[in-house]
């Protein structure tokens, strides 16, 4: 059982649609990160959220950290084919130096 569960696991949508990916846990994290990974490459950091309730925007992507610091969401507005990839959340607990990764959400945006 992984510490962070993501949903949905797979998502296939048409270009222009909106979507939300969820990252949930029963544990509390000091910070949470979102990564995007393309086939054959390593993950690349999109954003880090550190304050409960924090909302960060990166162009069409909106990230939110839950008030209780146990969950996060990623919302994409007007998805484009270039958004296609594997989205991973990763959390750091207050005790330790480890990053715990979520199970991943594979997004396909169809032109």
Partner 1 sequence: NAGVTQTPKFRVLKTGQSMTLLCAQDMNHEYMYWYRQDPGMGLRLIHYSVGEGTTAKGEVPDGYNVSRLKKQNFLLGLESAAPSQTSVYFCASRPTGPKETQYFGPGTRLLVL
Tell which positions 13-42 bind partner 1, by CB under 8 A. Answer: 30-31, 33, 40-42
- Among residues 28, 38, 21, 20, which one has the least CA distance to residue 3? 28
1 binds partner 1 (CB under 8 A): no
- SS3 of residue 82 by DSSP: helix
| d(C-alpha 60, C-alpha 20), whole Å | 12
The smaller minimum CB distance to partner 1, of residues 24 and 31, is found at: 31
Q: Which residues bind partner 1 (CB under 8 A)?
A: 2, 4, 6, 9, 30-31, 33, 40-45, 48, 50, 88, 90, 92, 97-104
């Amino acid at each position: 059982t992984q510490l962070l569960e993501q949903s949905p696991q797979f998502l296939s949508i048409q270009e222009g649609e909106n979507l939300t990916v969820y990252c949930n846990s029963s544990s509390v994290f000091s910070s949470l990160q979102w990564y995007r990974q393309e086939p054959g490459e390593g993950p690349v950091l999109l954003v880090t959220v550190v304050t409960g309730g924090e909302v960060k925007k990166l162009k069409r992507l909106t990230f939110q950290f839950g008030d209780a610091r146990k969950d996060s969401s990623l919302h994409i507005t007007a998805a484009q084919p270039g958004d296609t990839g594997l989205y991973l959340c990763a959390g750091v607990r207050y005790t330790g130096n480890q990053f715990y990764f979520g199970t991943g959400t594979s997004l396909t945006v169809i032109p």
